A and B are shown apart, each in its own frame.
Chain A
């Protein structure tokens, strides 16, 4: 059974940093790309970042480019999202999502339960 468990969310001041982590199980982690998708309170979903199975290729939404970094450790089956220079509009629930293949592919396959991030003074 595929499981994705996010951690690391919390309250952070504007301009601060936070590292989210996602622990995966139930599938050969290194064979699949992973993504982060966020949802601001009462709002829709927004794709944030992707990383290919070996970590060789990463993508970022324009809204986070230059501020967020994505990485993975295939020996520990984890994927991290390091968020710097956080702003109020980064406040959201952040979902870790499994992709359907080694590269990102066209859709989001399986979703974790999410971890909330609040950026506020």
Chain B
């Protein structure tokens, strides 16, 4: 069974830059996995940030960017703000009828 891996937690100072990653238990993540990223604050529904590796959803500030770094997908937040503190999930498309979420990264801004 394919597992999508993410860092369990990360900390960043206000104004700092952080890169969260999303990988596969076996194999590499590429653009053909169409990685997407979602932000979820406590008690709220997820919000779509990035799709197809690097395309920002409507209304998402350009402080959020997506890329492929080595064999993993990456979400980079520059100029982190207090309200960026949230859980971040990635999803990989692994074929027809197969979408697998990562376990999520809890980002702390302090």
A108 to B51, CA, bound (A): 8
- Cross-interface CB contact of A107 among B36, B97, B100, cutoff 8 Å: B36
With both beta carbons as reference points, the residue of chain B lying nearest to A58 in the complex is identified as B97
- Cross-interface CB contact of B45 among A60, A100, A109, A112, cutoff 8 Å: A112
Q: Mark A76-110, 1 if CB is under 8 A from B, else 0.
A: 00000000000000000001000010001011111
Q: Does A106 lie within 8 Å of B48, measured CB to CB? A: no
Give residues 94-110 of B contacting A (CB, 8 Å).
96-97, 99-104
Residues of B close to A107: CB separation below 8 A: 34, 36, 48, 51-52, 91, 93
Q: Mark B39-78, 1 if CB is under 8 A from A, else 0.
A: 0000001111001100001000000000000000000000
- Cross-interface CB contact of B36 among A44, A59, A108, cutoff 8 Å: A108
Expressed in whole angstroms, the minimum distance between the Cβ of A106 and any Cβ of chain B is: 3
A108 to B96, CA, bound (A): 15
A50 to B93, CA, bound (A): 13
Residues of A close to B46: CB separation below 8 A: 45, 95, 108, 111
Residues of A close to B34: CB separation below 8 A: 106-107
Chain A-chain B contacts (Cβ-Cβ < 8 Å), number: 56
A40 to B88, CA, bound (A): 16
B-side residues, CB < 8 A to A, are 34, 36, 38, 45-48, 51-52, 57, 89, 91, 93, 96-97, 99-104
Question: If the complex has contacts A45-B89, A50-B97, are A108 and B38 also in contact, measured as CB distance less than 8 A?
Answer: yes
Expressed in whole angstroms, the minimum distance between the Cβ of B40 and any Cβ of chain A is: 8
Expressed in whole angstroms, the minimum distance between the Cβ of B64 and any Cβ of chain A is: 15
Residues of A close to B38: CB separation below 8 A: 45, 108
A114 to B45, CA, bound (A): 7
A109 to B38, CA, bound (A): 10
List 9 additional A-B contacts (Cβ < 8 Å) besides A104-B99, A106-B93, A113-B45: A45-B38, A59-B97, A100-B51, A104-B97, A106-B51, A106-B52, A107-B51, A108-B48, A108-B99
